[in-house]
Amino acid sequence: MKFVLALVVLLGIALGVAGIVLGEADDSPGLQLLGALLVIGAIGYGVRLVRRSG
């Protein structure tokens, strides 16, 4: 179960980084903001997951 949650966190970070990079090409601040929020949220969830598991 922890492996699946770790994959979800890594996938969220990867999608967020892709959103930031693709937002740079299109000059749309909205996509960059959503990508940054996704990365921040995934990192926060990952930290919470690690802290709860002990």
- Using CA atoms, how far residue 14 sits from 23, 53, 54, in Å, is 14, 23, 25
- CA pair distance 16, 2, nearest whole angstrom: 21
pLDDT at 15: 95
Domain range list for the chain: 1-53
Q: What is the dihedral of CA 5, 38, 17, 21, to 10 degrees?
A: 160
2: confidence class by pLDDT, cuts 50, 70, 90 = confident
Q: In this predicted model, what pLDDT tens digit does every residue of 9-44 receive, in sequence order? A: 999 999 999 999 998 887 778 999 999 999 999 999
pLDDT at 7: 94
pLDDT at 10: 95
pLDDT at 29: 82
